[in-house]
Amino acid sequence: MPLGRGRVEVKAHAQESRFRIYGCALFPGGIRITCVAVQAQKTKQGNGKLAQITIDPVEVAEEAGLRYVSDEQPGYTRKGKGKSFQYFDTAGKLIRDETRLLRIRRLAIPPAYRQVWICPLSTGHIQATGRDDRGRKQYRYHERWRSIRDENKYDRILVFAAALPKIRRRVEADLKLPTLKREKVLATVVQLLQSTFIRVGNEEYARQNKSVGLTTMKDHHVQVRGMKLRFRFRGKSGIQHEVDISDRRIAKIVRKLQDLPGQQLFQYLDDDGKLCEVTSQDVNDYLREITGEDFTAKDFRTWAGTVLTAMALNAQGEFESKKEATMSVKNAIAAAAKLLGNTPTICRKCYVHPVVLESYLSGHLIEGLRTKADLAEEAHDFDENERTVLNFLRHQAAGPGLNKKTA
């Protein structure tokens, strides 16, 4: 995937059974994920090529019967009064009518939030924003906005793909920060999320199941030699993982992180010089700050699983029978699952866009990937495989328009 530097090789073994993922026959030449650093570039809209691969969030809002809004627009504000709050409209007048006050209270904006902005429209896709006690912007979305995003999988993955360039440029910039402040360490985690496919992890799962993800790693889970890093850890279901990555910049940052006091690998220094451990919520908040959308670390794995599966099916080529097609899907899912560290069942259910499998089984995935690959050459923030799959998904969302083949 883009953004990483150098080569990533992934291995894993469950108990005594060891398999080399990067030797998978479905990917010619083996799984060696070469990553190229992304340079910040201006979005090119002139020839319309990059514009074609994005999904207009305004249209998504309209589909839900909502108005697409921004907290840069005039909104309601609140001021503390004793142990409660008073709310003021866009003209600065005190809000007294119970209908508006009831809507505001139902948003359950935490008392600790500062710089609170409340949408004056009950149909705004964002209902409120505010800064928490650590200065991070938090969002309250309209329930219908969340619902349509969950129901419409085309929108979810395509809107995430449209946000990836913005995420990658911000990560690239934050990795260049001089000190181990919050943004630099979170950028390092996101960099590893998309280049190694390691889960983000969470404290509760680590405590209950003794499994490790990026945010719950200790110093001893990674070895650094020069520009090479080796991650060794126990993941979900007791599977032992070994991930090798060659990345001079990340190696330098990780060495500095290991020199910090304490055993936790990913920590940052706040404005007062206090050490703070990174959590999965921190990572998700960071993504939300960048995009203004409710994306999480899981979206990276869904995007990766979809791209990997599509390209694995493409590598196998067309099929002659239903049995052959079914076997190809099984093999492709297994290959992607190994890279993601999932079982094939979970991979298929949670991390692969269903249209990829449906299109392959109906006989038009290969042709779709082949004919649509050249429509986004200006999308420099994506690698070739990502551009190919992204264009295919975009055209499927608009309507395949391709002849189907019966297995």
Task: Give the pLDDT confidence of 79-97 residue by residue, as tens digits.
Answer: 998 889 999 999 999 999 9
Position 275 scores a pLDDT of 95
Amino acid identity at 310: A
State the residue for tokens 């959308």. 293
Average pLDDT, the chain: 81
154: confidence class by pLDDT, cuts 50, 70, 90: low
pLDDT for the residue numbered 144: 82
> What separation in angstroms does the CA of 302 have from each of 3, 153, 197, 257, 296?
17, 11, 10, 28, 10
Q: Supply the pLDDT for residue 333.
A: 95
Q: Is the dihedral of CA 336, 152, 199, 211 positive or negative?
A: negative
Residue 371 phi/psi, 5-degree rounding, is -85, -20
Q: CA 21, 26, 31, 35: dihedral to nearest 10 degrees? A: -140
* Contact present, 314 and 369 (Cβ < 8 Å): yes
Least confident of 19-23, 100-104, 305-309: 19-23
Instruction: Examine the pLDDT at 115 and tell me if it is beyond 50.
Output: yes
What percentage of the chain reaches a pLDDT higher than 90?
51
Q: What is the DSSP letter of 20?
A: -
What is d(CA 103, CA 172) in angstroms, rounded to the nearest whole number?
40
C-beta separation of 195 from 33 below 8 A: yes
Q: How many other β-carbons are positioned within 10 Å of the β-carbon of residue 403?
A: 9
Percent of the chain with pLDDT over 70: 79
Which whole number is the average pLDDT over 336-358? Answer: 90
CA–CA separation, 112 and 107 (whole Å): 14
Distance CA 277, CA 354 (A): 36
User: Does the structure show a pLDDT above 70 at 369?
Assistant: yes
The answer to whether the beta carbons of residues 359 and 400 sit under 8 Å apart is: yes
- The pLDDT of residue 148 is above 70: no
- Per-residue model confidence (pLDDT) at position 198: 93
CB 265 within 8 A of CB 258: yes
Beta strand 33-35 pairing with 77-81 = unpaired
**pLDDT tens per residue, range 273-294:** 899 999 998 999 999 999 988 8
Average pLDDT over residues 362-378: 66
The Cα–Cα gap between 22 and 30 comes to 5
pLDDT at 399: 64
Nearest to 12 by CA among 181, 241, 190: 241
394-404 pLDDT, tens digit per residue, is 888 776 444 34
Residue the block writes with tokens 């080529």: 317
pLDDT of residue 367: 76
Q: What is the pLDDT of residue 293?
A: 86
Residue 309: pLDDT over 70? yes
- What structural domains and CATH numbers belong to the chain? 6-44+176-293 (3.90.15.10), 68-141 (3.30.66.10)
213 — phi, psi (to 5°)? Answer: -125, -175
In this structure, what token pair is assigned to residue 132? 């928490």
Report the pLDDT value the prediction gives residue 292, as an integer from 0 to 100.
Answer: 86
pLDDT of residue 53: 36
Tokens of 239: 């599977």
Tell me, what's the pLDDT at 372? 52
Which secondary-structure segment (H or E) carries 138? strand 137-141
- Band (59; pLDDT cuts 50, 70, 90): low
- How far apart CA 190 and CA 255 sit, in angstroms, is 17
Query: Does the pLDDT value for residue 126 go beyond 90?
Result: yes
List pLDDT tens digits, range 229-276.
999 999 887 888 999 999 999 999 999 999 999 999 999 999 888 999
Q: Which run of H or E residues covers position 11?
A: strand 6-14
Residue 206 DSSP label: H
pLDDT bracket for residue 407 (50, 70, 90): very low
d(CA 72, CA 287): 19
174 Cβ contact partners less than 8 Å away, ≥ 6 residues apart: 183, 184, 186, 187
Q: How far apart are CA 257 and CA 222, in angstroms?
A: 11
In DSSP terms, 240 is beta-bridged to: 13, 234
Place 149 in a pLDDT band, splitting at 50, 70 and 90.
low
Comparing 1-10, 49-58, 193-202, 320-329, the range with the smallest average pLDDT is 1-10
pLDDT at 160: 92
Helices (H), 270-361: 280-291, 297-316, 322-340, 344-350, 354-361
Give the confidence band of 104 by pLDDT, cuts at 50, 70, 90: very high
How far apart CA 335 and CA 26 sit, in angstroms, is: 7
